[in-house]
Structure 1
Amino acid sequence: MKKEFDIDDEWVSFEIHPETPPEGISMDALFPKSSREQMHARLRASGEPYGLQFTDNDWLSNSRLALEASEFARDTGRFHEFHSRVFRAYFSEARDIGDRGVLSEIAKDSGLDTAALNAALDEGRYRSRIEEGQHEGQRYGVTGTPTYIINNKYKVVGAQPLEVMRRALNEIAERERSAGAES
């Protein structure tokens, strides 16, 4: 989409389930089996056109530490590498991204200094950023991820097919042009 549209993206950390206990929780405790099967089928179908493989993950990780680690990666210029690797670990490999050992391995694979990362996590260096992201998400009414906020006023929710995103961006661009012409 960046080839077609002038997009400057900024990822904001947002916990969709901040109530998840630190150790995570079994999906069995949250959803009936039929709901999980439908959710996994939708994920696999939505990822297939893009070569993304989703596994049937039956564990909901607490993502707080992963989000804090992502902010560390952002500050060291390795955000996209780390974020992609965390995504793959959780959704394709069914790994617990709330586990420090898993995060350290991902950090190392992403070219991050694991000792510096663990020190930052220990001191809670990025907690306030995560809280700011939570407040920002709440302000925009975010209820799922991904959510795209465009020009601070338009919202597109969910991992949408390219054509849906293209149509939304074209409609937004047209509204912006019309609003500018009326001024």
Structure 2
Amino acid sequence: MLDIKIFSDFACPFCFIVTGIFDKLKEDGVEFAIEWIPYEMHPDIPLEGKSVEGKHPKGYAEKMYEMLNKLGTEYGIKYKMQEKDYNTHRALLAGEYAKSVGKYDEFSKKIFKAYFTDLKNIGNKDILDDIAKKAGLNIEEMNNLINAGKYEANLKRAKNLIGKFEVEGTPTFIINDQHKMVGVRPYEQMKRSFLAYS
């Protein structure tokens, strides 16, 4: 059995593809236990979002989205060109709540889709609540616990793990607490890499 920690942010387009990779690994009978570790890539982004204009060299974004859509096709994932980056802090806290009630998979897929396909501001509480509700979460309980600071300790623990494993970006996989793998590759290559450590 593989023990996999995946450092991820809902603003990481490649992390969306990882959800499809893990689904396919399950279908292929690969046994693994997975823990998604929140990695807040841009805590400084305001709640209304921040324009991506000038973020990348000319033509870079088009090439990146072409590659993302090529990789995502296998998993039914589609990307649209973004005009803004959004703050993910509250969404990551909501993800911790979703874990506590056994609905993280549903929630994460919906939040990734909202961010990368529907281009929604997941930093906006009303939008986040709507996504959480569609994922079957009790939004009143979720918001009460988030507002009470219940999951901030989870993000602090995540920061400690980021330091411990020297994680510098997303997605980063830590396999059996020993082997580090960074980034996403075609499925068969990812599968071979995981199985090499089992």
Which segment is superposed worse, 49-58 or 133-142? Answer: 133-142
Which structure 1 residue ranges, 5 or more long, are not aligned?
A: 174-183
Question: How many residues of Structure 1 are paired with residues of Structure 2 in the alignment?
Answer: 173
- Please say if residues 80 and 119 of structure 2, whose CA atoms lie closer than 8 Å, have aligned partners that are also in contact: yes
Considering Cα pairs closer than 8 Å and 6+ residues apart, tell me whether 1 or 2 has the greater RCO: 2
- Please say if residues 46 and 159 of structure 1, whose CA atoms lie closer than 8 Å, have aligned partners that are also in contact: no
Shift of 1:146: 2.0
Amino acid at match of 1:115: E
Q: Within the alignment, does 1:38 sit opposite 2:80 as a pair?
A: no
Once the two structures are superposed, residues 35-56 of structure 1 have per-residue CA deviations (whole angstroms, 9 ceiling, x without a partner) of 2222222211210122211111
Mark the CA change 1:19 to 1:169 in structure 2 (over 3 Å): closer, same or farther. Answer: same
Higher helix proportion (structure 1 or 2): 1
Of residues 38, 58, 67, the one that matches 2:92 is 67
Separation of aligned partners in 1, 2:164 and 2:54: 29
Separation of aligned partners in 1, 2:97 and 2:57: 36
Mark the CA change 1:22 to 1:141 in structure 2 (over 3 Å): closer, same or farther. Answer: farther
Of residues 43, 68, 89, the one that matches 1:18 is 43
* Misfit runs of 4+, over 6 Å: none
Greater Cα radius of gyration, structure 1 or 2: 1
Of residues 93, 96, 112, the one that matches 2:121 is 96
Q: What is the TM-score when the length of structure 2 is the normalising length?
A: 0.79
Higher strand proportion (structure 1 or 2): 2
Amino acid at match of 2:90: L
Separation of aligned partners in 1, 2:92 and 2:67: 24
Residue 30 of structure 2 corresponds to 5
Q: What is the TM-score when the length of structure 1 is the normalising length?
A: 0.85
- Please say if residues 65 and 80 of structure 2, whose CA atoms lie closer than 8 Å, have aligned partners that are also in contact: yes
Once the two structures are superposed, residues 82-134 of structure 1 have per-residue CA deviations (whole angstroms, 9 ceiling, x without a partner) of 11110111111111111111110001101111112222222222111112112
Q: Percent identity over the alignment? A: 33
Separation of aligned partners in 1, 2:144 and 2:61: 36
Residue 152 of structure 1 corresponds to 177
Mark the CA change 1:34 to 1:139 in structure 2 (over 3 Å): closer, same or farther. Answer: farther
SS at match of 2:188: helix
Which structure 2 residue ranges, 5 or more long, are not aligned?
A: 1-24
Residue 77 of structure 2 corresponds to 52
Residue 196 of structure 2 corresponds to 171
Which segment is superposed worse, 35-44 or 93-102? Answer: 35-44
